[in-house]
Structure 1
């Protein structure tokens, strides 16, 4: 099985969701199914069918999370020697060479990516262009809108 990189925060979020599903949602759904069964004919019982659908979704999500955690390679960037190089988990300040705009991204695992919060997937075009580069390097990102040149201003290992 291939290991999938994940940050410490990403692992914690998945474990928290798993805990919620197993200890809160699963018992609530089981109680809803039991309650719906008491109402009689299951063929025409909308509450029963809705609860079973919720149960199916929750059990599927539990299996998905457990699979992701089993295949995760948790990387704690704070434990890695600070070299100024862009690696998985680092936060990078970039300066757009064309318009001098500054943007900050953190390189995270596929499941943790959230562009609105400047968390980019390790497999994204920007991250692939940045990995292995150092502060002061200029990188060309081939994005759907065309090529963008960035200078790596600063690399943070936080």
Structure 2
């Protein structure tokens, strides 16, 4: 399986989720199954069916998170020495040349991406257009509404 790039913060978030799933969610599901079993006949017991379905989801998510962490390539942006180039983990200040709007994005892994927090996926069209460029460069992004141009104002590794 290919390595999955993650920032240090993203890896910590996955570890925290895994801990929550194993210590809280799993125990909660076990208790719900035991409670539903105490009601008798399992063939027509909706609570039991719901608890088993929840257990399946929790165990599946545990396996998924463990798989991602085992294949993770954790990248610490503060340790990068790339001479101001846009790379995975970099935080970029951009200006939309058409509208003049200024935005700040960090290029992160697919699991960490959250546009509301200014984190864009390495696989997104914007990130792909920015990778390898420097402050002062203009990146052309193929967006659904046509080509958009962003000037890179600053590249930070925080």
Is the TM value for this pair above 0.5? yes
Superposition deviation, residue 19 in structure 1: 0.3
Is 1:79 matched up with 2:79? yes
Q: 2:148, 2:139 → 1: CA distance?
A: 8
Q: Which runs of 4+ in 1 moved over 6 A?
A: none
2:58 equivalent in structure 1: 58
- 1:38-88 deviations in whole A, cap 9, x for unaligned? 111001111111111110010010011011111110100111126211110
User: SS in structure 2 opposite 1:112?
Assistant: coil
122-131 or 94-103, larger mean C-alpha shift: 94-103
2:126 equivalent in structure 1: 126
2:40 equivalent in structure 1: 40
Scaled by the length of structure 1, the TM-score of the pair is: 0.96
Scaled by the length of structure 2, the TM-score of the pair is: 0.96
User: SS in structure 1 opposite 2:111?
Assistant: helix
Gaps of 5+ in 2: none
Is 1:97 matched up with 2:97? yes
Do the aligned residues in 2 keep the contact of 1:77 with 1:157 (CA within 8 Å)?
yes
2:88 equivalent in structure 1: 88
